[in-house]
Amino acid sequence: MRIRRAGPSAVLLEVADTAAVFAAYDLLTAARAEGTLRASEIVPAARTVLIDGVAEPDRIAALLETGRSAAPPSAAGSPPTIEIPVRYDGEDLDDVARLWDTDRAGVVAVHTGTEFRVAFCGFAPGFAYLTGLDPRHHVPRRASPRTRVPAGTVALAGPYSGVYPVASPGGWQCVGRTAAILFDLDRDPPALLSPGATVRFVEVQ
């Protein structure tokens, strides 16, 4: 792990993998909630965590060295599990089934049976990168990206699952679609999924 200054009031953690991101993010958000860390934002990514508005940069290093905050996070403060209804009729469902050596029902069973967690957000407002798939169910991106993937498309790529919040180009493997609104400026907060949240997909007809 490396700790770098990022401008006058931010610190960037560079870690080995997503598991290390989760560990640092959970620890630092718990510390902020307890009041033992002052920071305006804590933003996870694939292998980094950005802590902005840091009043005491040395406090971050101390927290990470001890491996715990002053007190464990409250269970009441844990984010709820968000259920997303999905109709599994995606254009790449059969391709994913072949990659997984199963059939359509097998893909649905794995996807709905996995508890996902939001690792980080990016690409487009409301787009969450969801981790939780067993490594044997990781899939490559499409060889030729589509010029337009409809909003609400549920897809897979590499170790991630995700839902396109708006119509956009994309190279992920499309397995289904949802009517859930991933991003709405009239909602507080606008994004349905935020880092750390757990997600379950539920099949609908």
What digits encode the pLDDT tens for the residues 142-199? 999 999 999 999 999 999 999 999 999 999 999 999 999 999 999 999 999 999 899 9
Residue 193 is encoded by which pair of tokens? 């999924």
The answer to whether residue 73 scores a pLDDT higher than 80 is no
Sequence-distant (6+) residues with CB within 8 A of 138 are 158, 159
Looking at residue 171, its pLDDT comes to 97
Of 15-29, 54-68, 72-86, 181-195, the one with minimum mean pLDDT is 72-86
Within the chain, which residue ranges are assigned CATH 2.40.100.10? Answer: 81-203
Looking at residue 160, its pLDDT comes to 97
Looking at residue 72, its pLDDT comes to 46
More confident residue, 5 or 102: 102
Looking at residue 59, its pLDDT comes to 77
What CATH number has the domain spanning 2-75?
3.30.1360.40
Residue 123 pLDDT level (bands cut at 50, 70, 90) = confident
Within the chain, which residue ranges are assigned CATH 3.30.1360.40? Answer: 2-75
Looking at residue 38, its pLDDT comes to 87
The answer to whether residue 70 scores a pLDDT higher than 70 is no
How far apart are alpha carbons 141 and 96 in whole angstroms?
Answer: 11
The answer to whether residue 44 scores a pLDDT higher than 50 is yes
More confident residue, 195 or 73: 195
Give just the sign of the alpha carbon dihedral 33, 34, 39, 42: negative
What's 81-203's CATH class?
A: mainly beta
Tell me if 148 sits within 8 A of 169, measured CB to CB.
yes
More confident residue, 129 or 11: 129
More confident residue, 92 or 3: 92
Q: What is the separation, in whole angstroms, between the first and last Cα of the chain?
A: 46
